[in-house]
C-alpha cells in the first residue's frame, strides 16, 4: 500500500497527508453494511475536510452532519450542506445569537441541550423561538457506583429528560431530537474478555433504557430523529428499534485506535509522510516533525504509528517530537535523506489540524488535492 502511495505522491514534498480514496470508499460501504439499514449521520470532527464530507454524503446510506461547534455548523450550511446537528452544547453567545437571527440557518441546524441551564441560555437570546434542539442523554453503563463511559450529559432517567424537554418547549424551542453516545461500546477496542463483557452488558442495558426515554419524550415532543452509536458500535446499535439514525466518521479514515475490534476490520485510509533528515547512528533515522499526539487519556495508544515497515519503531525515550521523530530497527537501515516514512494517526480528524491539504490518491495516481478545515482558514476548536 505505501508503495502505491509513494508512486502517487512522488512529486509532493513531505511532510504531507493523504487519503486513499479506494480505502475511504470501502470503509464507507462497510459502515453502511454494519448500520443494518439505518442512515448514518457523518461526524464532521472525524473528517474535517469539506470535499470528503460531500463525497461521503453523496453515497447511499449517509444523511446529515454531526458537527461539533456552532460556527462550524453555520459555515457548513453557508457552503450548501443541510441538516447539521451540533452534538455538543454551546455557550458561544455571539454564534448562537447570529444563528437565532438567521431563519435559513436556524431551519438547518439543531443544537444540543442537556439541562435547564442550556435552555435558559438559549431563551435569553433575541428571537430564540424556532431554534431546533436535541436532548443529549447519558448512555454510560453504571454498576453500583462504577461509571463506565464518558462524562457527558447529566440526563439519564426518563423523567429528567422529559423535564428538560418541557422546559425547552415552554421557552419556545423546538425539541426535534434525542441522542445517546455509547462511548464504552463504540470507542473501546476488544482488548480483553472484561471489555467484551462490559460492551455486552452496556448494549443490553441501553436497549431497555433508550426505549423508555424515547417513549417518554415522544409524549411531549414531535421527534424527527433519535441518534446513537459510533463507528465501533454500528452493528450493535443498528439493531435498536428506538433509534432512527446512527453516527460515524472515524471509520472512514480508520486510524490506529480502530485496529483492535473483533467485528470489523477497516482499511487504513489516512496517513501522513515525514521526510528522513538525519542518520544519528547505526540502525537509527530521524524524521522531520511528527509530534501529532491524539487527544484522550495519555499513553502510547495516542501516538502516531509508523506504517508499512514491519521493523521500524519509535524510540521510547523520545516518542514523536515537535520537530523531529527518531526511529530505529532493521526497517529503517535502507532509508536515505529525503526518503519518506509513513505514519497513521491514532485518531481520525485530528490529523487534519496539522495539514492544510489532503492529497487524494487512488492506486498509484494522485487524483486531487483538497483543503482541510485548516487549509480553508477555519479552526473551530
SS3 letters for the chain?
Answer: CHHHHHHHCCCCCCCEEEEEHHHHHHHHHHHHHHCCCCCEEEEHHHCCCHHHHHHHHCCCCEEEEEECCHHHHHHHHHCCCCCEEECCCCCCHHHHHHHHCCHHHHHHEEEEECCHHHHHHHHCCCCCCCCEEEEEECCCEEECCEEECCCCCCCCCHHHHHHHHHHHHHCCCEEEEEEECCHHHHCCCCCCHHHHHHHHHHHHHHHHHHHHHHHHHHCCCCCCEEEECCHHHHHHHCCCCCCCEEEECHHHHCCHHHCCCCCCCCCCCEEEEEEEEEEEECCEEEEECECCCCCCCCCHHHCCEEECCCCCEECCCCCCECCEEEEECHHHCCCCCCCEEEEECCCCHHHHHHCCEEEEEECCEEEEEEECCHHHCCCCC
Q: Which has more pLDDT, 131 or 184?
A: 131
Q: Quick one: pLDDT band at residue 153, thresholds 50, 70, 90?
A: confident
Q: Is residue 212 a contact partner of residue 231, using CB atoms and an 8 Å limit?
A: no
**226 found inside a domain:** yes
Residues 6 or more apart in contact with residue 214 via CB below 8 angstroms? 178, 223, 226, 242
Cell of 220: 411531549
**28 found inside a domain:** no
Which residue among 197, 232, 253 closes a domain?
253
The verdict on 124 and 219 lying in the same domain is yes
The verdict on 234 and 108 lying in the same domain is yes
Question: Is pLDDT above 80 for 40?
Answer: yes
**27 found inside a domain:** no
Give the residue-averaged pLDDT of 204-221.
Answer: 93
Give the residue-averaged pLDDT of 367-380.
Answer: 97
The verdict on 62 and 144 lying in the same domain is yes
Give the residue-averaged pLDDT of 241-263.
Answer: 94
Q: Closest Cα partner for 106 from 118, 96, 121?
A: 96
Radius of gyration of the chain (CA): 22
Residue 150 confidence (pLDDT): 79
**381 found inside a domain:** no
Which residue among 253, 278, 302 closes a domain?
253
pTM above 0.85, yes or no: yes
The verdict on 151 and 293 lying in the same domain is no
The verdict on 209 and 327 lying in the same domain is no
The verdict on 216 and 308 lying in the same domain is no
Question: Is pLDDT above 90 for 152?
Answer: no
Q: Quick one: pLDDT band at residue 79, thresholds 50, 70, 90?
A: very high
**92 found inside a domain:** yes
CATH of the domain at 371: 2.40.37.20
Question: Is pLDDT above 80 for 149?
Answer: no
Percent of the chain with pLDDT over 70: 100
CATH of the domain at 216: 3.20.20.10
Give the residue-averaged pLDDT of 27-56.
Answer: 97
The verdict on 360 and 248 lying in the same domain is no
How many independent structural domains does the chain possess?
A: 2
The verdict on 173 and 287 lying in the same domain is no
Question: Is pLDDT above 90 for 199?
Answer: no
**259 found inside a domain:** no
The verdict on 224 and 291 lying in the same domain is no
| Residue-averaged pLDDT of the chain | 93
Residue 335 confidence (pLDDT): 94
The verdict on 134 and 11 lying in the same domain is no
Residue 142 confidence (pLDDT): 82
Question: Is pLDDT above 90 for 143?
Answer: no
Range of the domain at 148: 35-253
The verdict on 246 and 295 lying in the same domain is no
The verdict on 137 and 182 lying in the same domain is yes
Which residue among 253, 288, 307 closes a domain?
253
Work out whether strand 324-328 and strand 313-314 pair parallel, antiparallel, or are unpaired: antiparallel
**25 found inside a domain:** no
**339 found inside a domain:** yes
Amino acid at each position: 500500500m505505501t508503495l502505491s502511495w509513494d508512486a502517487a505522491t512522488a512529486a509532493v514534498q513531505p511532510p504531507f497527508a493523504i487519503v486513499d480514496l479506494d480505502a475511504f470508499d470501502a470503509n464507507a460501504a462497510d459502515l453502511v453494511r454494519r448500520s443494518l439499514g439505518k442512515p448514518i449521520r457523518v461526524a464532521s470532527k472525524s473528517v474535517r475536510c469539506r470535499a470528503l464530507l460531500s463525497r461521503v454524503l453523496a453515497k447511499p446510506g449517509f444523511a446529515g452532519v454531526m458537527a461539533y461547534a456552532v460556527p462550524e455548523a453555520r459555515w457548513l450550511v453557508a457552503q450548501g450542506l443541510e441538516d447539521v446537528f451540533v452534538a455538543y452544547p454551546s455557550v458561544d453567545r455571539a454564534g448562537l445569537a447570529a444563528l437565532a437571527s438567521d431563519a435559513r440557518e436556524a431551519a438547518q441546524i439543531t443544537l444540543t441541550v442537556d439541562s435547564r441551564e442550556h435552555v435558559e441560555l438559549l431563551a435569553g437570546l433575541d428571537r430564540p423561538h424556532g431554534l431546533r434542539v436535541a436532548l443529549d442523554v447519558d448512555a454510560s453503563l453504571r454498576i453500583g457506583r462504577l461509571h463506565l463511559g464518558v462524562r457527558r450529559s447529566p440526563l439519564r432517567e426518563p423523567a429528567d429528560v422529559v423535564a428538560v424537554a418541557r422546559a425547552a418547549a415552554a421557552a419556545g424551542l423546538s425539541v426535534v431530537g434525542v441522542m445517546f453516545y455509547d462511548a464504552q461500546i463504540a470507542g473501546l477496542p476488544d482488548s480483553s474478555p472484561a471489555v467484551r463483557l462490559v460492551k455486552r452488558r452496556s448494549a443490553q442495558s441501553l436497549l431497555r433504557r433508550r426505549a423508555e426515554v424515547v417513549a417518554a419524550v415522544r409524549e411531549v415532543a414531535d421527534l424527527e430523529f433519535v441518534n446513537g452509536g459510533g463507528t465501533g458500535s454500528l452493528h450493535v446499535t443498528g439493531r435498536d428499534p428506538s433509534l432512527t439514525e446512527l453516527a460515524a466518521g472515524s471509520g472512514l479514515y480508520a486510524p490506529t485506535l480502530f485496529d483492535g475490534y473483533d467485528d470489523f476490520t477497516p482499511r487504513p485510509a489516512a496517513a501522513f509522510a515525514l521526510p528522513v533528515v538525519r542518520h544519528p547512528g547505526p540502525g537509527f533515522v530521524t524524521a522531520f516533525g511528527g509530534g501529532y499526539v491524539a487527544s484522550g487519556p495519555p499513553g502510547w495508544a495516542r501516538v502516531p504509528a509508523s506504517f508499512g515497515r514491519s521493523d521500524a519503531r519509535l524510540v521510547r525515550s523520545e516518542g514523536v517530537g515537535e520537530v523531529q521523530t527518531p526511529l530505529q530497527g532493521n526497517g529503517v537501515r535502507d532509508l536515505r535523506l529525503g526518503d519518506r516514512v509513513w505514519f497513521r494517526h491514532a485518531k481520525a480528524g485530528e490529523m487534519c489540524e496539522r495539514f492544510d491539504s489532503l492529497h487524494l490518491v487512488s492506486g498509484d495516481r494522485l487524483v486531487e488535492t483538497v483543503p482541510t478545515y485548516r487549509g480553508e482558514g477555519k479552526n473551530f476548536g
